[in-house]
Amino acid sequence: MGTVKKVKSIVMLAYVIRRLLILIPTLLGVSVIVFLMLHMTPGDPAELLLGERATVESLAQMREHLGLNEPLYVQYGLFLKRLLKGDLGETIWTRQKVWTEVLQRFPATIELSLVALCISCFFGVLLGIISATRQYSIFDYVSMIGALAGVSMPIFWLGLVFMLIFSLNLGWLPLSGRLSIGIDLDVITNFYILDAILTRNWAALRDAVWHIIMPAVTLSTIPTAIVARMTRSAMLDVLRQDYIKTAKAKGLSNLTVIFKHALRNALIPVVTTIGLQFGVLLGGAILTETIFAWPGVGKWMYDAVMQRDYMVIQGGTLFIAGLFVLINLCVDVLYAVINPRMSMQ
């Protein structure tokens, strides 16, 4: 028995190593694409930084300082060299390290994305299970139409509608930000909900939860719809299998058949979808954070695009891309845990 477990551990370790090796060319390809696209966009960072009235000499000095006078392959080589050292460069406007500013804003983005992911998982899986077990019922039709509508609605439009209804008209939820003015919170991790719990600041906890509801629901709309449709499809395939019929013939209750026998196998494609949607949430947070003035990485990158701060755009894009790839790795490993046969491939 111990030998079998050891073999399984070795196989799983080899599977993880193979997936990690795939990350290298993936991130390298992302860095090339981001670098070239930024240099193909119109505009001169030196002119934007110094202004339209800058002299020719000052512009030349700034381009030399930023390394813009070098050929593209030399600029990319220097960029890649900094990346290997863990240096994402400095922002053009504030002269702060990009990595430092990413770490300052990332907790706000990950907090928003995690809350949105929890909403998506709970309601998406629940709606998918009920729709599959009550196929062609009124609930099935209504939920799937709602899922289709959720996929079709743009995030920025939905966010503005929520702000108009729940903030301006009804006054139920705050319009923007993470905390109300006058609420004091001792920041430890920069995850406001967690910090409020750690410091037992219940007023700040209520306020932080109140602020995150509307942007999180807005951000979770599309993933909830996708998870619901995937769960329904996977559950319908599993419920038609012979072993499900056998379990029902043995007299097992519907809840036992659904949650113990059917859901476990149906979760294999759903887990993959949820993992991919988490990466999508990080990308979709750019629009959501901009609309709700949420001080995360997305809002920071949007401002960088407006200011043509290409160091921030490069660093932020690579950071999100690397995070997305790592999430996919975790999904692959979890997929192999649920279905051990995957680690053999």
Q: Provide the pLDDT confidence category of residue 338 given band limits of 50, 70 and 90.
A: low
Q: Is 60 exceeded by the pLDDT of residue 144?
A: yes
Alpha-carbon distances of 132 from 1, 145, 208, 260, 266, rounded to whole Å: 39, 14, 36, 16, 11
The predicted pLDDT at position 341 comes to 55
Q: What is the reported pLDDT for 5?
A: 64
Q: What is the pLDDT of residues 190-227, one digit of tens each?
A: 888 888 888 888 888 888 889 899 999 888 888 888 88
Residues 5-31: what's their mean pLDDT?
Answer: 73
Buried b (16+ CB within 10 A) or exposed e, 34-53: bbeebeeeeeebbbbbeeee
pLDDT above 90: percentage of residues in the chain? 0
Q: How far apart are CA 51 and CA 181, in angstroms?
A: 35
Q: How confident is the model at residue 35 (pLDDT cuts 50, 70, 90)?
A: confident
| Average pLDDT rounded to a whole number, residues 256-271 | 76
- Look at residue 129 in the predicted model and tell me its pLDDT: 85
Kindly report which listed range (46-50, 123-127, 247-251) carries the lowest average pLDDT score: 46-50
Dist CA 52 CA 54 (whole Å): 6
DSSP 8-class letter at 163? I
Q: What is the mean pLDDT of residues 270-287?
A: 75
Looking at residue 196, its amino acid is A
Q: What is d(CA 133, CA 262) in angstroms, rounded to the nearest whole number? A: 11
Distance CA 157, CA 165 (A): 12
Average pLDDT, the chain: 78
Give the model confidence (pLDDT) of 63-89 as tens digits.
776 667 777 777 778 778 777 777 777
CB atoms within 10 A of CB 168: 9
CA 331 → CA 196, 270, 278, distances in Å? 30, 10, 10
Angstrom distance (rounded) from CA 49 to CA 307: 9
pLDDT at 54 over 80: no
The better pLDDT of the pair 304, 337 is held by 304
Q: Give me the mean pLDDT over the 140-161 stretch.
A: 81
- pLDDT-derived band at 41, boundaries 50, 70, 90: low
Span 288-298, average pLDDT: 84
| pLDDT (average), residues 280-296 | 79
Do the beta carbons of residue 289 and residue 178 sit within 8 Å? no
Q: Is-contact 150 141, C-beta < 8 A?
A: no
145 vs 11, 137, 225, 274, CA distance in Å? 43, 12, 10, 20
Reply yes or no on whether the pLDDT at 301 is more than 70: yes
Whether the predicted pLDDT of 337 surpasses 60: yes
- Rg value, the chain, Cα: 24
Average pLDDT over residues 316-342: 72
3-state helix, strand, coil split of the chain in percent (to 5) is: 80, 0, 20
What is the pTM (predicted TM-score) of this model? 0.78
Contact 150, 221 (CB under 8 A): yes
Quick one: pLDDT at residue 250? 74
Where are the domains positioned within the chain?
111-344
Supply the pLDDT for residue 51: 63
Q: Round to the nearest angstrom and report the end-to-end CA distance of the chain.
A: 23
CATH architecture of 111-344: Orthogonal Bundle (1.10)
Band (pLDDT 50/70/90 cuts) for residue 52 is: low
For residue 300, name the pLDDT band (cuts at 50, 70, 90). confident
